[in-house]
Amino acid sequence: METAIRVDNLIKVFTNDQGELDVLQDLSFSIASQEFVCLIGPSGCGKTTLLRVLAGLLPPSDGEVFYPGRQTQNNIYRVGFVFQNANLMPWRTVIENVLLPLELEYRSSADNRRRAVSMLELVGLAGFEKTYPGDLSGGMAQRVAIARALINEPEVLYLDEPFGALDALTRERMGSELIRIWQAKPVTVVMVTHSISEAILLSDRVLVLSKRPAQLKLDLPISFPRPRTLDLKHTKTFGSLAGEIRRAIQV
Ligand SMILES: Nc1ncnc2c1ncn2[C@@H]1O[C@H](COP(=O)(O)OP(=O)(O)OP(=O)(O)O)[C@@H](O)[C@H]1O
Ligand SMILES: [Mg+2]
């Protein structure tokens, strides 16, 4: 398996008026190309910070992030980012929101519009192109955010608790939709979640971080075959994986 991202002794320290805040402490791990990895850890431990460093939005304080598929060290992948809130612009229609990343790169064309329409189909929102965000449910808004993150055809998709604000049933549906999208597009996924069962159901691997400063507590492969169903939750193996993750979070 080709390595998409390799993190070596990564350290992140924020400096402000009050002094220094150690957030990421000596993290080392690799993520394979087209792997689906979930990050889990206590609130405030540095998960969002880690995603931002991996995506190249923040520089490391020390250590390195390599993208072995790329020639030079800082030549990062095309990335898509989905935030906890959909962060849609309320004055733009659904399709105008999806097209925004391309407009910011001055890449407006009729072809882009066709691409945006097909992304909206992919996330199950065909027919909602001209709707405004105010008329969407939370789950629909988050689908638009996923379509917007995919419009650039990212090689790595970062999702920061994308379903945190949704009710349990919508959340389960969005999880399986995300798997469908991931299987339809060749993309590496790194997703932060607070839900242990969501992490086990969706991912190939769960990385558990300690409380701040975040260290890697557990690197747990999830080898259930796909397609997976919700019934997995009632199996013994699922229970023992969940227990292992819970214990790692608590220590
Ligand atoms: N730009 C910044 N400057 C200074 N401190 C920051 C900055 N960004 C984050 N922090 C601090 O770093 C720590 C980790 O924040 P981060 O948002 O990465 O945590 P998190 O694990 O994503 O938390 P949550 O689960 O609540 O989303 C927090 O104490 C936060 O206040
Ligand atoms: Mg966060």
Tell the residue nearest (CA) to atom 16 of ligand 1.
Answer: 46
Based on the number of CB atoms within 10 Å of its own CB, is 67 exposed (0-12), middle (13-18) or buried (19 or more)? buried
Q: What beta strand segments (E) does 153-236 contain?
A: 156-160, 188-192, 205-209, 216-221
Tokens of 167: 């009710």
Cα dihedral across residues 185, 187, 191, 195: positive or negative: positive
Instruction: Tell me the pLDDT tens digit for each residue of 85-104.
Output: 889 999 999 999 999 988 88
Please tell me the pTM assigned to this model: 0.94
Tokens of 115: 């691409």
Distance CA 208, CA 195 (A): 12
> CA nearest 158: which of 48, 70, 40?
48
Residue 108 pLDDT exceeds 70 = no
β-partners of residue 208 are: 40, 218
Distance CA 231, CA 185 (A): 26
Residue 141 Cα to ligand 2 midpoint, Å, equals 19
Instruction: Tell me the pLDDT tens digit for each residue of 180-200.
Output: 999 998 899 999 999 999 999
Confidence class for position 211, pLDDT limits 50, 70, 90: very high
Within 10 Å of residue 229's Cβ, how many Cβ atoms?
10
- Closest ligand, as measured to the CA of 49: 1
Distance CA 207, CA 29 (A): 9
Residues with CB under 6 A from ligand 1: 14, 16, 21, 23, 43-49, 212
Q: Which atom of ligand 1 is nearest to the CA of 14?
A: 4
Residue 146 Cα to ligand 2 midpoint, Å, equals 18
Domain parsing of the chain, residue ranges: 3-77+156-250, 86-154
Edge-to-edge strand list for the sheet holding 19-32: 19-32, 3-16, 62-66
- Closest ligand, as measured to the CA of 159: 2
Residue 222 Cα to ligand 2 midpoint, Å, equals 23
- Closest ligand, as measured to the CA of 209: 1
* Domain 3-77+156-250 class in CATH: alpha beta
Mutate to test the pocket of ligand 1, among 18, 48, 58 (most ligand atoms within 8 A of CB): 48
Distance CA 2, CA 58 (A): 25
Distance CA 15, CA 168 (A): 38
Residue 129 Cα to ligand 2 midpoint, Å, equals 30
Tokens of 194: 């607070």
Indicate the pairing of strand 156-160 with strand 188-192. Answer: parallel
Residue 18 Cα to ligand 1 midpoint, Å, equals 15
- Closest ligand, as measured to the CA of 39: 1
How far, CA to CA in Å, does 13 sit from each of 18, 19, 24, 203? 13, 10, 7, 29
Tokens of 4: 């998409």
Residue 42 Cα to ligand 2 midpoint, Å, equals 10
How much is the pLDDT for 74? 59
Instruction: Tell me the pLDDT tens digit for each residue of 11-40.
Output: 999 998 989 999 999 999 999 999 999 999
Which residues does 130 contact at the CB level (< 8 Å), separation at least 6? 93, 94, 95
Instruction: Tell me the pLDDT tens digit for each residue of 38-79.
Output: 999 999 999 999 999 999 999 999 999 998 877 655 566 788
How much is the pLDDT for 21? 96
Q: Which atom of ligand 1 is nearest to the CA of 16?
A: 4
